[in-house]
Chains A and B, each alone.
Chain A
Amino acid sequence: MKKAKVLATLLAGVMVLSLAGCGSSPAPAATESPAPAATTEEAAPAADTTAAEPAAEASADAINLEMWCIATESDSNRHSYEAAIADVTAAHPEINFTWEAIENQAYKTKIKAAVAADEMPDIFFTWSCAFLGDFVAADRVYCLDDAYQNFKDELPEVMMGNSTYDGKHYGVPLTMNIVGLFANMDILSEVGYSEVPGSYDEFIACCDKLVEAGYIPFGCAGKETWCVTEYLESVIEKSCGADVLNDIFLGRASWNNEDVAAAVDTFQGMVTKGYFDPEGIALSNDEVKANFMAGKYAFYMNGTWNCADFSADADFGPKVKVSEFPVINADKAKLGQLIGGPSDTLAVAASSPNAEAAAQFTFELGRLICHYGYLDGCGLPAWTPFGDTSNINPLTQAVSEICAKADSYVLFGDTAMNADEANTYLSYVDQVYGCNIDGAGFVSGLAADIR
């Protein structure tokens, strides 16, 4: 029953996440909220029953709904989308549903051009917070408050926080993910570690030993700056504390902060000490991930959506452990301060001729994508889990345990900031990784350039 408890506490911990709208606020330590009964027996009504109910009320005429998302054939979420779509369309014969998946970068271009032209599909994938916020501010997104009433019991309102603007809900969250420190235990044991070192000093000592023994400690895709932020943001958070970082991301505090500068220097120190694969700067994340799975790196810090792919690999799965980045400055930061939160979201276009039906449909679809995604290990569920969850892979279970002890979450910087600021931020992160500027240059530059 350990798992059930974990899930409950996880939700309690996440509960507090982002009530303040976009971003996050400190969570009370996840307390001993009584675990609900085992998930299996108490499974929420099976998918199709809930799905069919509101459908019956819908008009008998065929409704065309179109969706755009990023679950391309190589995406680890692909299966959960396919399974969810199969279920929901079976339950809604009156809806003529079409969807297409577009590669991540191309999608960002495409959806923005579509919003500019007011030619959006009825339902579209979006990242929460600033990305969706721009569209909401332009009145292009349909408000989901009414449809949400039917799903209140299964979707905790706090999970909607990152897609809530002026108190109104605009997005259906799917999964939530945090940044995890993945470790290849085979390599660690070569230098005499059977666990991921828990304290920062030990961790650094371990990295030094790895370098000495000829191993590369970290793999990081320099070609995709968001991968660098997975490392950098964790270092800053564990040096300065979650509140400081969060206030900066949300524009409530200036970047000009000595602690942040020092943390950036700490990160850069890791780069100059050769902890990172020098070839990583020219590689994409897929390539780095493949290298990690091939045993080229000891650690890989990235989103917990990777749990699915790692576990699915019969050779590699048993070697990996996931943990939290150690605390660097215990005066300001503590364990349980994590980077992440619900970001993957579905939204409905205000221009959709069938927006009401689309809203209902989106909730049903989101609920199932979340369900199947959770079963696949693509992330933690934003919705209350149902069905048999006993087969969930051990890595994802370990992530739930980390989240269960969460103190607070800071959303990924490039999701929390608006597009212009996020890209300025990413370009400075790039320069830090390339050792063009130091911590002081980073904070002063950002303080000056963020409009």
Chain B
Amino acid sequence: MSAEVKVSMDLSLDQYQLKKESKVVKVLIYIGLALWTFINLFPIYWMFTFSLKDNKEIFGENVAGLPKHWLWSNYTSAMNTGHMNVYFVNSIIVAVATILITLIAALMATYAITRMAWKLSGTVNAFFMMGLTIPIHASIVPIYVTLSRIHMLNTYWALIVPYAAFALAMAILICSGFMGDIPKDLDEAARIDGCGVWGIFFRIICPLMRPALATIGIYTFLQCWNELMFANIFNSKDALKTLPVGIQALSGQYTTNWGPIGAALVIATFPTLLVYVFLSKRIQESFIAGAIKG
């Protein structure tokens, strides 16, 4: 199947314009699409506007319009009281480290599973795939106990290691899809040239896996960026909190003052969206590739 379903975003399909359909259907389709666009964009727009308003505007005078007075002080509150800048950096650190570890572990494991001939490779692959369905919360206390025994609580590692473990299954899945596309003849040629297994892996396979790396990186990034429960329990130090925990804490502090919460939400969201706007094609392709290669 995967051979047929090639990622081909640029394929121009003008031969399938909506010629046969009546104008009415066409208009209806566009109305539907526009409506769904609105449903997707409006909450984000509303979040942005209320992050710049005071309660008076949010609660009555000006519910959905652009702010009358652009209240940037909400952002200062979110940074100073809410420490959103610190949490932002923490989230980045955790995400980047998790991605690196996941990539290395997944590449190596996939290489062993798909390119080294041995009896149990299928079983081991199935074993890793179990990880796809395991809910992350099911193992929270045993992991907590283990982390505390090895004195890793309240460090970045307390999040990085479990996140990497939970991202592994998806990463291996994606990797095997991509690695399957690399012709085995390359290995053979390298072996004849006197390359060892490690040489083949690092010099031939790794460079060819670059598109897979992007896909895995994005998947893993989203997972770490969003996770709340582990982050809440494994790190109690303010200096190490990640964005989701910080937002939850801030919303507890400002239950009745929406502006700073809105500002925090924007801080946690807009950088990702900004990156997305510039790289949207790449990100979409990565997602598609991830799903199809599996």
Contact = CB atoms under 8 A, between A and B. Distances in A.
> Bound pair: A and B?
yes
Q: How large is the interface on B (under 10, 10 to 19, 20 to 34, 35 or more residues)?
A: 10 to 19
B255 A290 contact: yes
A119 B153 contact: yes
B280 interface: no
Interface residues of A, number: 20
A117 B253 contact: no
Contact of A106 (B232, B237, B238, B255): B232
A109 B140 CA distance: 11
A109 B255 contact: no
B81 to A, nearest CB: 7
A64 interface: no
Contacts of B232: 106, 109-110
A284 B236 contact: no
A110 B145 contact: no
A103 B236 CA distance: 10
Interface in B47-81: 81
A117 B144 contact: yes
Interface SS of chain B: helix
Contacts of A73: 81, 253
Nearest to A109: B233
Interface string A243-262: 00000000000000000000
B236 A100 contact: yes
A116 B253 contact: no
Interface in B111-154: 141, 144-145, 147-149, 153
A347 B172 CA distance: 47
B140 to A, nearest CB: 8
Contacts of B249: 72, 103, 106
Interface string B252-282: 1101100000000000000000000000000
A305 interface: no
A287 interface: yes
B148 A68 contact: no
Contacts of A109: 232-233
A286 B256 contact: yes
A100 B248 CA distance: 17
Nearest to A117: B148
B236 A117 contact: no
19 contacts: A68-B236, A72-B249, A72-B252, A74-B252, A74-B253, A100-B237, A103-B248, A103-B249, A106-B232, A110-B232, A113-B141, A113-B233, A116-B141, A116-B144, A117-B145, A117-B148, A117-B149, A119-B153, A286-B255
Interface of B: 81, 141, 144-145, 147-149, 153, 232-233, 236-238, 248-249, 252-253, 255-256
Q: Closest 7 interchain pairs by CB?
A: A117-B148, A119-B148, A286-B255, A74-B253, A290-B256, A117-B145, A113-B144
